[in-house]
Amino acid sequence: MERVVNPGPIDHTLLLSQHEHKSELLWKAMVERWRLETHCFHLPFGEVTITLQDMQVLFGLHIDGDVVYIQDATRRIRPWRTLLETLTRCTIAPTDMDGASRVRIHSFTGYLRDQLQVDPIRDATPVERVESIARLYMLVILGDILFPNSSGNLISLQYLAFVDPIHDVGNFT
């Protein structure tokens, strides 16, 4: 099997807030030390791996809580398109659907852009509208950023099970 290495960021001046950061050199050094077989970085002083605690510290992610497990969501037989409209007020054209539970991402991003250009969220915005927009953003984050599928442009509506009710979202890891 041929080893495929991510080439790193296109713009190697990624960390602009630091005065003289050389991210290209750092990236190359870390790629050379990554061992696919052990999923560790091999450094002169030993092996280093990224842990859940590292993710918590680096990204502020919650690591103690309920797990986002898609099979739990699929056990709840729901009409996903109807649930999407109920929770987010976003209506999807049948041509933007792929099967019963996957939607093209441009449908969501276009809807969010249009909604927020016409009526931006302000202090007086009703809570129901804020929650609808927040649910849709969370669906995009879950389905496109955290758990993307191989198509690269489809989001599973099954992640809606994790944003309803909205006050339970903080319980997930």
- Are the CB atoms for 38 and 144 separated by under 8 Å? no
Residue with tokens 């790193």: 8
**15-39 confidence digits (pLDDT tens):** 454 455 556 677 677 778 878 787 7
Rounded CA-CA distance 173/166 in Å is: 15
Quote the percentage of the chain above a pLDDT of 70: 73
- Spatial separation of the C-alpha atoms in residues 45 and 146, rounded to whole Å: 32
Per the CB < 8 A criterion, the answer to whether 65 and 172 are in contact is yes
Residue 75 — very low, low, confident or very high, per pLDDT cuts 50/70/90?
very low
Among candidates 130, 135, 104, which has minimal Cα distance to 119? 130
The tens digit of pLDDT for each residue in 85-135 reads 888 888 888 888 887 788 888 888 888 888 888 888 889 989 999 888 988
